Structure 1
Amino acid sequence: MRHSTIRQLEVFEAIARLNSFTRAAEELFLTQPTVSMQIKKLTDDIGLPLFEQVGKKIYLTEAGKELYQTCQGIFEHFSRFEMAVSNMKGLKSGKLRLAVVTTAKYFTPRLLGTFCQQYPGIDVSLKVTNRERVLERLTGNQDDLFILGQVPESIDAVSEVFLDNPLVVLAAADHPLADQKNISIDRICEESFIMREPGSGTRMATERFFNDHNKKLKVRMELGSNEAIKQALVGRLGIAVLSRHTLALDGPMGQLAELNVEGFPIERHWYFAYPSGKQLSVVAQAFLEYLRHADDYLEDLSCRHAISGHCPLLKNG
């Protein structure tokens, strides 16, 4: 073990936590051959197998379970040391680790830009991934703060609303419904829908809305990203419910329309969260306080005036 490196332990911990060599490689930005090589070296140093494979699934051996507990202790000590050093330095320097769901990528970098202008010595790590993995990272206390939709009650975490997240119905700018007002829910359900993947917060909110109205959607296609959905809309493959934030910075200019549908927008919110009992560093505390004033920095981001036709990204509002 004295010959083992911190990197090898990081690779092992990621595989053990995610139960996947592939996902560990993605999280650590490594190739799969590199991950396999690091585990082989670690296994050789220990002299016992750390994983066993049954079918397509991998499981920790007894030695693997012991090492996983050891890794958690080691990384917890490193985290405390980093926090102590950060607190000693104040806001002149330090690290901020954020994990956000994919839709939050439309405003988080802009928030970070203003924050880092105020505190240029802070090093920021931003992880953008889907809701399921953000919740995994939250449960595993892998980052300082997390930005996502509402946190499930089953997760022991502190969370607070800091920004509105309206969900709207979008279509191609030349869609037959683009110029209509007060479109009924019955009428909109006649259209083909392009949906995010199962587990997406946007999808869950959309399905909940229509289920509450005893309506069933005609799902034509499932896509794993907002960008792919927007391109499908421009291609006239259907309509979709997305966060208005997805249009704020890089929406296809003039090619999409927000439909005026009964009951929309669906009012949702963005939350910041962190595990209950977690001691935040001085940098994380500063960013948390900064998030509480996010509206002041993002006045034009949510296209609040889209309905009245003032949002430049939408045709006819």
Structure 2
Amino acid sequence: MNYTLHQLQIFLKITQLKSITKASEALFLSQPAVSIQLKKFQDQFSIPLTEVVGRQLYVTDFGWEIAEAAEKILNEVQAINYKTMSFKGQVAGRLKISVVSTGKYVMPYFLSDFINKNKGVDLVMDVTNKGSVVNSLEKNEVDFALVSVVPNQLNLDRIELMENKLFLVGGTNLKLNKKTSPKKLFETFPLIYREDGSATRNAMEAYIASHDISTRKKMQLTSNEALKQAIVAGLGLSIMPLIGIKNELKNNDLQIIPFKDLPIVTNWNLVWQKSKNLSPVAMAYLEFLKFEKDRIIKENFDWYEEY
């Protein structure tokens, strides 16, 4: 056998995405180039690795076995590269972070300088729902997680990054009567919620309950982007994090509606298990945040103080 690391990488990506087209996009290669390398790799085995039924590509049982071995080989090669860089005095390794969906507007700004400065660091950032973020912490699958509400069921350390402000938001196409009482707004316009378990939804429900607000029809959407589009289209109102609507406010697609005791203010926290044995890369990142956090906030979130 004479397969290459490049072929192992391509085959592993095909098994992960179950598509040559998607694998080519993920690897920034042309589809014909991926197909050629897959054929060359397959030709070295007497048992099929994949099969096509209809127009769908399937991985055979033997193919899954080879994919598992390929992943182990590639991880070992990466480990060798990390060790080489470390011996040269460079920060090298993999940094894994799980981020709640709205946190995607925050976390990249606290990562870019660190990643650009340390070329030997590979970033794996999973943007998902709160339940999955907490689960990844519990299973020790990540170094850090970004949350706006720290889960109290886990024993965690944390660094507060910046404030998270939640305002009542509506589309600019809604004709709001200035004489309408604040509570009447909720009776007139439907409320749009995030999915169950979302920290934004929990904060919104607690606010409504504590202010004894009666609401009309309500809707539920499972992503911040979908929620924004629904509000822009005039489907209703919602209480939303300011961090995710900068462009919509600038473009006059959304408006902040003044309301009693709003904004709700929490904090974005980078958290990790207290018992976790942090890698050198994770320790280096915490040290970076210690000295650079305030500068990053000042340079990238000065607009935040206008609201």
Q: 1:240 aligns with which of 238, 241, 246?
A: 238
> What does the per-residue CA deviation read over 1:139-179, in whole Å, with 9 as the maximum and x for residues that have no partner?
001011111122222123223322110011111123233x8
Paired residue secondary structure (2:111): helix
The 1-side partners of 2:96 and 2:65 are apart by 33
| Structure 2 residue identity aligned to 1:130 | N
**Map 1:135-214 → 2, pairs under 5 A:** 135-177=134-176, 180=178, 185-190=182-187, 191-214=189-212
Amino acid at match of 2:304: R
Query: Residue 112 of structure 2 aligns with which residue?
Result: 113
Distance 1:257 1:250 in 2: 8
Q: Determine the C-alpha separation between the residues in 1 that align with 2:147 and 2:170.
A: 25
Moved more, 88-97 or 105-114: 88-97
TM-superposed CA distance for 1:89, in Å, is 5.9
Mapped to 2, the partners of 1:256 and 1:44 lie a distance apart of 51
User: Matches of residues 62-77 of structure 1 in structure 2 within 5 Å?
Assistant: none
Q: C-alpha distance in 1, partners of 2:235/2:141?
A: 39
User: SS where residue 168 of structure 1 aligns?
Assistant: strand
Local SS of the residue matching 1:218: coil
SS of 1:263's partner is coil
Shift of residue 206, structure 1, vs aligned partner: 0.7
- Map of 2:33 onto structure 1: none
Partners of 2:192 and 2:220 within 8 A in 1: yes
- Aligned partners of 1:295 and 1:187: how far apart in 2? 41
1:160-309 equivalence runs, <5 A: 160-177=159-176, 180=178, 185-190=182-187, 191-248=189-246, 253-292=251-290, 293-299=292-298, 300-301=300-301, 303-307=303-307
Percent identity between the two aligned chains = 27
Do the aligned residues in 2 keep the contact of 1:131 with 1:200 (CA within 8 Å)?
yes
> Which residue matches 1:69?
none
| Aligned-pair CA distance for 1:194 | 1.1
Structure 2 unmatched ranges of 5 or more: 1-7, 20-49, 52-57, 67-71
CA distance in 2 between counterparts of 1:180 and 1:295 reads 39
2:41 is aligned to none
* Distance change (3 Å), C-alpha of 1:42 and 1:298: same
The gaps in structure 1 that reach 5 residues or longer are: 1-6, 12-27, 46-73, 308-317
Distance 2:147 2:247 in 1: 19
Separation of aligned partners in 1, 2:183 and 2:288: 42
TM-score by length of 1: 0.66
2:93 maps to which residue? 94
The 5 Å alignment of 1:77-88 reads 85=83
Question: What is the CA distance between 1:212 and its match in structure 2?
Answer: 1.5
CA root-mean-square deviation: 3.6
- Pair member with larger Rg: 2
Q: Is the Cα–Cα contact under 8 Å of residues 91 and 283 in structure 1 kept in the other structure?
A: no
TM-score normalised by the chain length of structure 2: 0.68
In structure 2, relative to structure 1, the CA distance for the partners of 1:283 and 1:44 (3 Å cut) is closer
How far, CA to CA, are the matches of 1:226 and 1:306 in structure 2?
22
Alpha-carbon distance between aligned partners in 1 of 2:64 and 2:232, rounded to the nearest angstrom: 51
Do the aligned partners of residues 44 and 287 (structure 1) sit closer, same or farther apart at CA in structure 2, a change above 3 Å counting? Answer: closer
**Deviation at 1:306?**
3.8
CA deviation map 1:14-41 (0-9, x unaligned): xxxxxxxxxxxxxx9544999x957x55
Secondary structure of 1:294's aligned partner: helix
Distance 1:180 1:304 in 2: 26
Measure the CA separation in 2 of the matches of 1:240 and 1:216: 14
Instruction: Report the alpha carbon displacement of residue 302 of structure 1 after superposing the two structures with TM.
Output: 6.7
AA aligned to 2:144 is L
Equivalent residues of 1:188, 1:261 under 8 A apart? no
**C-alpha displacement of 1:303:** 3.2
Aligned amino acid, residue 164 of structure 1: E
Q: 1:244, 1:303 within 8 Å by CA — same for their partners in 2?
A: no
Distance between the aligned counterparts of 1:253 and 1:234, measured in 2? 11
Contact 1:91 1:282 in 2 (8 A): no
CA contact (8 A) 1:172 1:235 kept: yes
